[in-house]
Amino acid sequence: MSNRKAVILLSGGLDSSTVLAMAQSEGFECYCLSFNYGQKHLMEIEFAKDIAVKRNVAAHKIVHLDIANFGGSALTDDAIEVPIDEADNTIPVTYVPARNTVFLSYALGYAEVLEAHNIFIGVNAVDYSGYPDCRPEFIEAFETMANLATRIGVEGEPVTIQTPLIHLSKAEIIIAGLSLGIDYSLTVSCYKLDKKGFACGHCESCRIRKSGFFEAGIDDPTRYN
197 inside domain: yes
Give the residue-averaged pLDDT of 23-34.
Answer: 98
24 inside domain: yes
> What tens digit of pLDDT does each residue of 130-150 get?
889 999 999 999 999 999 999
> Would the pLDDT of 218 be above 70?
yes
Give the pLDDT score at 7: 98
116 inside domain: yes
221 inside domain: no
In whole angstroms, how far apart are CA 123 and each of 9, 138, 169?
A: 10, 10, 11
224 inside domain: no
102 inside domain: yes
> What tens digit of pLDDT does each residue of 29-48 get?
999 999 999 999 999 999 99
> What is the span of the domain harbouring residue 39?
5-216
14 inside domain: yes
64 inside domain: yes
**CB 84 within 8 Å of CB 202:** yes
> What tens digit of pLDDT does each residue of 146-173 get?
999 999 999 999 999 999 999 999 999 9
How many domains does the chain contain in total? Answer: 1
Whichever domain contains 26, its CATH number is 3.40.50.620
Is the pTM above the cut of 0.85? Answer: yes
**CB 152 within 8 Å of CB 159:** yes
